[in-house]
């Protein structure tokens, strides 16, 4: 089985379509989305439509819950809050209902999928440090856990001796034996690792390898839409530099 695993599209239709085009010849059997289809970007409705048409597993992110009014938006910074309020005003009742019904976590075939962290996923905790990764991996029964939320691709690994390893700037990871992996697939629609390229992953269970994919897209087109929509200009500026 080969899975495509995406996260944090954030209403960026150009990035989303570029990733789907990249997947066209990838021989993937299941498409997984780890949350935050909306927020920040100018095309939430179109992105939700594509997601509903094409994906097999879909998880809720904190921006999805905020737009669905299932979490308090005052916990977001002013830029994110502006985008959330704009998105609420531009979505249909049916799209909001869809966001409301997204689950927080999904487990299947020895895999765990969650937006932020498997430990109390509704708290939307960012897993940046080794200590945070260890705490979360202790509560995951499966050896492979996939997350998004930070918008930064990374891998935390705990071996059979309890030793922790951390990887960034990788293109593939061999998934050896009974070793626990917490894999962040990065962000399709708003990367924050210093690259403008959309980020997602392909998991090949037969080969036991995770591949990180980076895809070029027309962020200039997205920038123009953001500004035309009256969204904060910083949301356009950051796409060019990946921060």
| pLDDT, position 58 | 99
Crossing angle for the helix pair 219-228 and 13-22, nearest 10 degrees? 150
Q: Provide the domain limits for residue 174.
A: 2-241
Mean pLDDT by 10 residues, the chain (243 residues): 98 99 96 99 99 99 98 95 98 98 96 97 95 90 96 95 90 91 98 98 98 99 99 98 95
- What is the tally of structural domains in the chain? 1
Q: What is the CATH number of the domain that holds 186?
A: 3.60.21.10
Question: How far apart (Å, rounded) are the C-alpha atoms in residues 154 and 156?
Answer: 7
For residue 115, what are the contacts with CB-CB under 8 A and spacing of at least 6? 7, 34, 35, 36, 59, 60, 61, 62, 104, 121, 124, 147, 148, 149
| pLDDT, position 79 | 98
């Amino acid at each position: 089985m080969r899975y495509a695993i995406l996260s944090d599209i954030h209403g960026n239709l150009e990035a989303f379509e570029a990733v789907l085009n990249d997947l066209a010849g990838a021989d993937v059997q299941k498409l997984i989305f780890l949350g935050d289809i909306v927020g920040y970007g100018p095309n939430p409705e179109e992105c939700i439509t594509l997601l509903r048409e094409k994906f097999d597993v879909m998880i809720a992110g904190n921006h999805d819950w905020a737009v669905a009014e299932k979490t308090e938006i005052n916990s977001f910074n002013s830029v994110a809050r502006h985008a959330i309020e704009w998105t609420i005003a531009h979505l249909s009742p049916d799209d909001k209902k869809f966001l409301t019904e997204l689950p927080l976590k999904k487990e299947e075939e020895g895999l765990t999928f969650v937006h932020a962290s498997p430990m109390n996923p509704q708290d939307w905790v960012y897993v940046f440090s080794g200590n945070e990764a260890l705490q979360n991996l202790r509560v995951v029964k499966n050896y492979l856990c996939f997350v998004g939320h930070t918008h930064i691709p990374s891998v935390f690994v705990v071996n059979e001796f309890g030793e922790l390893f951390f990887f960034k700037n990788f293109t593939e990871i061999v998934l050896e034996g009974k070793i626990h992996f917490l894999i962040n697939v990065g962000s399709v629609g708003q990367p924050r690792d210093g690259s403008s390229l959309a980020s997602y992953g392909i998991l090949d269970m037969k080969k036991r390898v995770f591949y990180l994919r980076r895809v070029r897209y027309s962020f200039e087109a997205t920038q123009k839409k953001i500004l035309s929509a009256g969204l904060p200009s910083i949301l356009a500026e950051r796409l060019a530099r990946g921060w």
